[in-house]
Structure 1
Amino acid sequence: MTDSLPVIQQRLENLRQQMQSRRIDAYLVTNADPHNSEYSADHWLARKWLCGFTGSAGDLLVTKSGGGLWTDGRYFIQAIEQLEGTGIELFRKRLPGTPTIPEHLAEQLTANSRVGVDGRTINQTFFLELKDAFAAKNIEFIITEDLVGNIWQQRPARPSKAVFLHDIQYAGKSCAQKLTDIRSLMLSDKVDQVLISATDDVMWLMNIRGQDNAFFPGSEAYALISQETAQLFIDSKKLPAVVCKTLLQQGVSCWDYHELADTLALLATELNFKYSPYTTNSLLVSRIRQGVTCLQGNTYAQSGKIVKNATESEQHQLALKYDGTAIVQFMCWLEEHVHSGEVTELSAEQQLRCYRKALPNYISDSFSTIAGYAEHGAIMHYSATRDSNKVIGTDNYFLLDSGGQYLGGTTDITRTFSFCELSEQQKTDYTLVLKGVIRLSQAKFLKGTAGNNLDILARGALWQQCVDYKCGTGHGVGICLNVHEGPQNFSQSVKDTEPLVPGMTITVEPGVYREGEYGIRIENILQVVAVAENNFGTFYGFKTLTLAPIATNQIISDLLSVEERLWLNDYHLTVAEQLTPLLNPADQQWLAKATQPI
Structure 2
Amino acid sequence: MFQDFTAATKPEDGPPRLDALRAHLAEAGLDGFIVPRADAHQGEYVTAADARLAWLTGFTGSAGFAVVLPDVAGVFIDGRYRVQVKAQVADVFTPVPWPEKMLEDWLIEALPSGGTVGFDPWLHTVAEIERVEAAVSAHGITLEPVANAVDAIWTDRPARPDAPVQPYPESLAGTSSAEKRRQIAETLTQAGEAAAVLTLPDSINWLLNIRGGDLAHLPVVQAFAIIDAKGTTRVFSDPEKFDGLTLDAGVTLAPWSAFKPALAALTGPVRVDPNSAPAAVKAALDGAGIEMARGSDPCLLPKARKTAAELAGSTRAHLRDAVALTRFLHWFDETAPSGGLTEIDVARQLEAFRAETGALRDISFDTIAGAGSNGAIVHYRVTEQTNAPVKPGQLFLIDSGGQYEDGTTDITRTLPVGEVGAEERECFTLVLQGMIAIHRTRFPKGVAGMHLDALARAPLWATGRDYDHGTGHGVGVYLSVHEGPQGLSRRSKVPLEPGMIVSNEPGYYREGAFGIRIENLIHVVEATGGADPHREMLGFETLTYVPIDRRLIVTEMLSPAERAWLNAYHAEVLARVAPLLQADGYTATAAWLEAACAPI
Instruction: Please show how residues 195-274 of structure 1 align to structure 2 within 5 Å.
Output: 195-228=197-230, 229-241=232-244, 243=245, 245=246, 247-249=247-249, 251-268=250-267, 271-274=268-271
Contact 2:25-2:31 within 8 A present in 1 as well: yes
Instruction: Please show how residues 404-483 of structure 1 align to structure 2 within 5 Å.
Output: 404-483=402-481
Residue of structure 2 equivalent to 1:116 = 118
Shift of 1:536: 4.2
Calculate the TM-score normalised by the size of structure 2: 0.95
Instruction: Please show how residues 272-287 of structure 1 align to structure 2 within 5 Å.
Output: 272-287=269-284
Shift of 1:111: 3.6
Distance 1:332 1:412 in 2: 19
Instruction: Please show how residues 120-131 of structure 1 align to structure 2 within 5 Å.
Output: 120-131=122-133
Instruction: Please show how residues 471-550 of structure 1 align to structure 2 within 5 Å.
Output: 471-493=469-491, 496-532=492-528, 534-550=532-548
Shift of 1:110: 4.8
Q: Deviations over 1:121-155 (max 9, x none)?
A: 11111111112222121111011111111111211
Residue of structure 1 equivalent to 2:191 = 189
Residue of structure 2 equivalent to 1:90 = 95
Distance 1:467 1:108 in 2: 34
Which of 6, 24, 29 is residue 12 of structure 2 equivalent to?
6
Q: Deviations over 1:292-346 (max 9, x none)?
A: 1110111311111000010000001110110111101111111121133221101
Secondary structure at the aligned position of 1:120 is classed as: coil
Q: Which amino acid aligns with 1:516?
A: G
Distance 2:540 2:10 in 1: 48
Q: Which amino acid aligns with 2:332?
A: L
Q: Deviations over 1:402-445 (max 9, x none)?
A: 01111111111000000323222111100011111111100001
The Cα RMSD (Å) is 1.4
Aligned length: 586
Contact 1:361-1:408 within 8 A present in 2 as well: no
Q: Which amino acid aligns with 1:52?
A: G
Residue of structure 1 equivalent to 2:569 = 571
Q: Which amino acid aligns with 1:282?
A: A
Shift of 1:84: 4.0
Secondary structure at the aligned position of 1:387 is classed as: coil
Q: Mind listing any 5+ residue stretches in structure 2 that lack a counterpart?
A: 1-5
Shift of 1:248: 2.7
Residue of structure 2 equivalent to 1:153 = 155
Secondary structure at the aligned position of 1:119 is classed as: coil
Distance 1:439 1:381 in 2: 24
Secondary structure at the aligned position of 2:362 is classed as: strand
Contact 2:467-2:509 within 8 A present in 1 as well: yes
Contact 1:42-1:213 within 8 A present in 2 as well: no
Q: Which amino acid aligns with 1:16?
A: R
Residue of structure 2 equivalent to 1:63 = 69
Shift of 1:120: 1.6
Secondary structure at the aligned position of 2:74 is classed as: strand
Shift of 1:393: 1.4
Distance 1:94 1:202 in 2: 29
Secondary structure at the aligned position of 1:29 is classed as: strand
Distance 2:406 2:595 in 1: 30
Shift of 1:218: 1.0
Distance 1:160 1:485 in 2: 24
Calculate the TM-score normalised by the size of structure 1: 0.96
Aligned-residue sequence identity (percent) comes to 35
Q: Which amino acid aligns with 1:90?
A: P
Q: Deviations over 1:188-227 (max 9, x none)?
A: 1111111111111001000001111211111211221113
Distance 2:208 2:577 in 1: 34
Contact 1:451-1:490 within 8 A present in 2 as well: yes
Distance 2:10 2:296 in 1: 43
Distance 1:459 1:273 in 2: 41
Contact 2:369-2:382 within 8 A present in 1 as well: yes
Residue of structure 2 equivalent to 1:595 = 597
Q: Which amino acid aligns with 2:269?
A: N
Contact 2:399-2:412 within 8 A present in 1 as well: yes
Instruction: Please show how residues 44-63 of structure 1 align to structure 2 within 5 Å.
Output: 44-63=50-69
Secondary structure at the aligned position of 2:189 is classed as: helix
Q: Which moved more, 1:285-294 or 1:259-268?
A: 285-294
Shift of 1:547: 1.2
Q: Which amino acid aligns with 1:230?
A: T
Distance 2:106 2:573 in 1: 52
Contact 2:343-2:369 within 8 A present in 1 as well: yes
Instruction: Please show how residues 308-327 of structure 1 align to structure 2 within 5 Å.
Output: 308-327=306-325
Contact 2:393-2:421 within 8 A present in 1 as well: no
Shift of 1:284: 2.9
Distance 2:449 2:417 in 1: 35
Secondary structure at the aligned position of 1:330 is classed as: helix
Contact 1:36-1:278 within 8 A present in 2 as well: no
Secondary structure at the aligned position of 1:454 is classed as: helix
Q: Which moved more, 1:280-289 or 1:135-144?
A: 280-289
Distance 2:166 2:547 in 1: 35
Distance 1:297 1:402 in 2: 34
Contact 2:40-2:124 within 8 A present in 1 as well: yes
Secondary structure at the aligned position of 2:289 is classed as: coil
Shift of 1:360: 4.2
Distance 2:490 2:262 in 1: 41
Shift of 1:116: 0.5
Secondary structure at the aligned position of 2:248 is classed as: helix
Contact 2:264-2:290 within 8 A present in 1 as well: no
Shift of 1:386: 0.4
Residue of structure 1 equivalent to 2:3 = none
Q: Deviations over 1:546-574 (max 9, x none)?
A: 01111000111111111111111111111
Distance 1:40 1:126 in 2: 19
Secondary structure at the aligned position of 2:540 is classed as: strand
Residue of structure 2 equivalent to 1:174 = 176
Distance 1:274 1:211 in 2: 28
Residue of structure 1 equivalent to 2:103 = 101
Residue of structure 2 equivalent to 1:305 = 303
Which of 36, 40, 49 is residue 34 of structure 1 equivalent to?
40
Contact 1:421-1:554 within 8 A present in 2 as well: no
Q: Which amino acid aligns with 1:465?
A: T
Distance 1:558 1:62 in 2: 53
